[in-house]
Amino acid sequence: MPVIKYPRIRDPLFYEWDRKAQKCGLRHTVYAVNGDQYTGEWLDNLKHGKGTQIWKSTGAIYSGDWKFGKRDGYGSYSILDPATKEYKRVYTGWWQNDRRGGRGTFFYPNGELYEGEWSNGLRSGWGKMLYKDGSLYEGQWLRDQPNGQGMLRLPNGSRYEGGWKDGKKHGPGKYFYPDKGQLLEGIWVADIPKCGALVDFGRDEAPAPPQFPLPEIKLHDPAGVLGEAKAMFDDSHN
């Protein structure tokens, strides 16, 4: 009985081409239609793992962790200086869902620097900001503004320690004047001291103390005054 051989059924070529086009694992540089290029690891056609992306339009480069096509994990983002043709660091730290999230350091073009926590691409949490005039803020942040408890030190040595809201001094706080040897302790509202007491603080060692010292305030009935103040405070909170 003759043996009849039938040709083997093969899948169409485009199935094979599609399979080879699926990116998974470590791959060489892959170029996008707009000229962007990525070198690194893939999973199910998405950037996943360690990799480096270069954007053609800006020359910016990111090198670090990826998760399902987005920057996620630890990585560094730099931009190309058109004058020197050298890369300048912009941000080094943690990312979440393609935005700065977690702890990281941001380098501003004017020389300022922020080191601390981020959320959804904004300064949020605890962080330290060094401004171009030499001022330093260290404390709590919320939505890119000092918010909560923090300390601001100015270039002349003066400093404020206390509450903040929307980037302004707000709530109980202390303002130190080391050049005068004085301390203002009180309540601030939107950067303005509304009430408080100014006292001498290391006046004898201050480089430029006021001409006359502040007079000492003596209460005839300290216990009574304190009791009255406590009663007023309790009434205001009931």
Q: How confident is the model at residue 5 (pLDDT cuts 50, 70, 90)?
A: low
Instruction: Give me the chain's average pLDDT, please.
Output: 84
List, in order, residues 6 or more apart from 151 with CB less than 8 Å away: 137, 138, 139, 159, 160, 161
Sign of CA dihedral 28, 32, 37, 38: negative
Q: Compute how many other C-beta atoms are within 10 angstroms of the C-beta atom of residue 73.
A: 15
What is the band of 1 on the pLDDT scale with cuts at 50, 70, 90?
low
Q: What is the pLDDT of residue 142?
A: 97
Q: What does the DSSP assignment read for 89-118?
A: EEEEEEEETTEEEEEEEEE-TTS-EEEEEE
pLDDT per residue as tens digits for the range 50-89? 999 999 999 999 999 999 999 999 999 999 988 888 999 9
User: Burial code of 158-181, b = ≥16 C-beta within 10 A, e = fewer?
Assistant: ebbbbbbbebebbeebebbbbebb
pLDDT at position 18: 45
pLDDT of residue 85: 84
Give the residue-averaged pLDDT of 82-104: 94
- pLDDT on residue 11: 57
State residue 203 phi and psi, 5-degree precision.
Answer: -65, -35
Instruction: Please tell me the predicted confidence (pLDDT) of residue 20.
Output: 53
Q: What is the pLDDT of residue 126?
A: 98
Which secondary structure element, helix H or strand E, spans residue 28, and what is its range? strand 25-31
E strand or H helix that includes residue 149: strand 145-153
Residue 14: the pLDDT is 42
Q: Domain segments of the chain: what residues?
A: 17-97, 144-227
- Per the confidence metrics, is the pTM higher than 0.85? no
Residue 220: its pLDDT value, please?
Answer: 45
> Residue 17 pLDDT > 50, yes or no?
no
Tell which residue, 176, 185, 182, has the closest CA to residue 211. 182
Within 8 A by CB and 6+ apart from 53, the residues are 36, 37, 38, 47, 61, 62, 63
Choose the weakest-confidence range: 21-35, 57-71, 165-179: 21-35
| pLDDT tier at 217, thresholds 50, 70, 90 | very low
> What's the CA gap between 137 and 11, in Å, rounded?
66
So what's the pLDDT on residue 224?
54
**What is the per-residue pLDDT for 180?**
82
> How much is the pLDDT for 4?
64
Distance (Å, rounded) from C-alpha 229 to C-alpha 64? 58
| pLDDT tens per residue across span 116-126 | 999 999 999 99
Contact 92, 116 (CB under 8 A): no
Pick the CATH number of 17-97 from 1.10.3470, 2.20.110, 1.20.120, 2.40.170: 2.20.110
- For residue 114, count other CB atoms closer than 10 A to its CB: 21
Which of 9-18, 111-120, 182-191 is modeled with the greatest confidence?
A: 111-120
pLDDT at 186 exceeding the cut of 70: yes
Tokens standing for 116? 């601390």
Tokens representing residue 93 in the block: 């730290």
Pairwise CA distance, residues 159 & 136, whole Å:
9
